[in-house]
Structure 1
Amino acid sequence: MSVPPVPPPPTGAAPVRTSTGVFVCLEGGDGGGKSTQSALLVERLRSEGYEAVPTFEPGDTAVGRELRRIVLDPATGDLAARTEALLYAADKAEHVERVVLPALGRGAVVVTDRYVDSTLAYQGAGRVLGGALAGLEQVARWATRGLRPHLTVVLDVPPAAGLGRLEGRDRIEAESAEFHERARQAFLALAAQDPAHYLVVDARGTREEIAATVWARVAPLLAQAARAARTVGEGA
């Protein structure tokens, strides 16, 4: 399969990372094990005494559940690429406002399954928005107040391997192999632009191997969460 090279998505917006709590995002193609690794990370964090908040996009708010139904239900059929992107942006705005920022504000570790990079990869590169990519990022960053994770873990898997793990496919998962390969290359391009805040892991490893690799990168970030938690407790 021949897939044209995907240019790195633009990253012109100034990044915003909170000084309280820790924000970790798991990204990558479908079937890469994001949900499994999110659950393992949350379990490890809680065992170490941290408040860990598992969350996901799209759909982890009341409004988000309706938006998720629209964008993922095969019955929705075709959507204009910009319509789809704006629906995802609306979910992100509600998610950050209602779930992510409040948890970070009290010093929690937020672990999200998908975030802005998924929009840039799927709606940007996957849909081949081309010259509209810069505008797409502006919308996504505006919707999320410019908030970026302290660490984004990209679970990299070839589309054939990842999609082959799925029992059924939603509206996005049912897209062509070329679509998913373009998205994969966009995830890798984003990670290559900012290695200090990204970790790329081969998702074909064992769940235990992957979890250990992820923990090794997350653990050094946790002093910020611990300090924030103590400060909140002392001020109560």
Structure 2
Amino acid sequence: MLITLEGIDGSGKSTLHAALHEALADLDPVFTREPGATWIGDAVRRAVAERMDPIAEALLFVADHAAHIDTVIRPALGEGRIVISDRYSDSRFAYQPVVLAGLLPDPLGWLRQMHDGWSIRPGRTFLFVLPVEEALRRIAAKKQEYFEEATILEAVQKNYLDLAAADPSRFVLVDALLEKEEIFGFVADEIRRCARSSR
């Protein structure tokens, strides 16, 4: 089963992803992320840092996604293992339409068409929802990427919530303002429940 963690920057999903390693060790899941699980992910991060053309950047994200599925996700699922990914295709559907606005008539439709027929749909997606002001406060200490601005993150979070509303059976909304321990316990328990039901 493929489980994904999504949310705007600063929402705590990456911290949770790291914490789940030990807590779910008995399930022997595969922990991975996008971008970064393949060498193409390094190119994606460079494209973001250098503010590459938005269409070129989006295509690199899709290329990384394809390589990620081919080299990590599909083999693990074929072995019957649980895969937990920090970001996945929904990040693209939430972030890239904001970046591509004005360049394409239907950025989300364009992105979805590029994924049709080969991308793997997650079985469960945990969406961490956080006020943008709090997200910016949390990430203030680190070097910010160009998309870590209030107006962009507001639009991204709206896109995420629209995706969740359109697919409620897959998405689980998580209040990222809750204590870390409470969030951690809830998500870990839900993943165990998913693992039992997928057997």
Give the one of 62, 71, 87 matched to 1:89: 62
- Residue 28 of structure 1 aligns with which residue? 7
- For residues 117 and 23 of structure 1, do their structure 2 counterparts lie closer, same or farther at Cα, with a shift above 3 Å needed? same
SS in 2 for 1:54: strand
SS in 2 for 1:67: helix
Q: Does residue 55 in structure 1 map to residue 29 in structure 2?
A: no
Cα distance in structure 2, aligned partners of 1:211 and 1:141: 33
Cα distance in structure 1, aligned partners of 2:64 and 2:39: 10
Cα distance in structure 2, aligned partners of 1:220 and 1:65: 34
Of 146-155 and 214-223, deviating more is: 214-223
8 Å CA contact retained: 1:42, 1:53? no
8 Å CA contact retained: 1:126, 1:180? no
Aligned residues: 196
Give identity over the alignment, percent: 37
- For residues 158 and 169 of structure 1, do their structure 2 counterparts lie closer, same or farther at Cα, with a shift above 3 Å needed? farther
TM-score, normalised on structure 1? 0.76
Shift of the alpha carbon at 1:173?
Answer: 4.0
- Larger-Rg structure: 1
Give the one of 104, 111, 125 matched to 1:136: 111
- Residue 38 of structure 1 aligns with which residue? 17
- For residues 112 and 141 of structure 1, do their structure 2 counterparts lie closer, same or farther at Cα, with a shift above 3 Å needed? farther
Q: Structure 1 regions of 5+ residues with no counterpart?
A: 1-21, 228-236
RMSD: 1.9
Q: Structure 2 regions of 5+ residues with no counterpart?
A: none
Question: After superposition, what is the alpha-carbon deviation per residue over 1:92-120, rounded to whole angstroms, capped at 9, x for unaligned?
Answer: 11111111111111121111110111111
- Residue 120 of structure 2 aligns with which residue? 147
Cα distance in structure 1, aligned partners of 2:100 and 2:43: 22
Cα distance in structure 2, aligned partners of 1:163 and 1:102: 37
- Residue 189 of structure 1 aligns with which residue? 162
TM-score, normalised on structure 2? 0.89
Question: Map of 1:1-236 to 2, 5 A cutoff?
Answer: 22-46=1-25, 49-71=26-48, 73=49, 76-77=50-51, 79-128=52-101, 131-142=106-117, 145-166=118-139, 167-174=141-148, 176-223=149-196, 227=199
- Residue 12 of structure 1 aligns with which residue? none
